[in-house]
């Protein structure tokens, strides 16, 4: 019983580790999603400042929307809400 539990934990750990490392594969394109749109200058500046403070990469698209990598959405919601 103890061996089965240990093996299950090891397998779960390996799966989680592999999922996290897949984001680090060179050349893999990231999907960016709109995180902020239709904001006045003050809100736009505040959002960008919080993203930079929390080391979350962002881009400004042609329409002026703030976009972030899909993998960072949860972190951005936590820091910028």
Q: Residue 62 sits in a domain of what CATH number?
A: 3.30.70
Tell me how far apart the alpha carbons of residues 28 and 34 are, in angstroms, rounded to a whole number. Answer: 20
Q: CA separation (Å) from 49 to 22, 44, 54, 63, 80?
A: 28, 9, 9, 19, 10
Sheet holding 32-36, edge to edge: 32-36, 66-69, 58-60
Q: Is the pLDDT of residue 51 over 80?
A: yes
Q: Is the pLDDT of residue 72 over 60?
A: yes
More confident of the two residues 28 and 42: 42
Query: Looking at the 3D structure of the chain, how many domains does it have?
Result: 1
Query: Structural domain of residue 36, as residue ranges?
Result: 2-80
Q: Can you list the pairs that 51-55 forms with residues at least 24 positions away whose Cβ atoms lie under 8 Å?
A: 51/76, 51/79, 51/80, 53/79, 54/79, 54/80
């Amino acid at each position: 019983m103890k061996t089965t539990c240990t093996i299950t934990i090891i397998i779960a750990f390996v799966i989680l580790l592999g999922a996290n490392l897949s984001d680090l594969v060179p050349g893999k394109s990231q999907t960016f999603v709109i995180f902020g749109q239709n904001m006045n200058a003050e809100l736009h500046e505040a959002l960008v400042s919080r993203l930079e403070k929390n080391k979350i990469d962002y881009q400004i698209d042609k329409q002026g929307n703030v976009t972030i990598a899909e993998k960072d959405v949860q972190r951005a919601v936590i820091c910028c809400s």
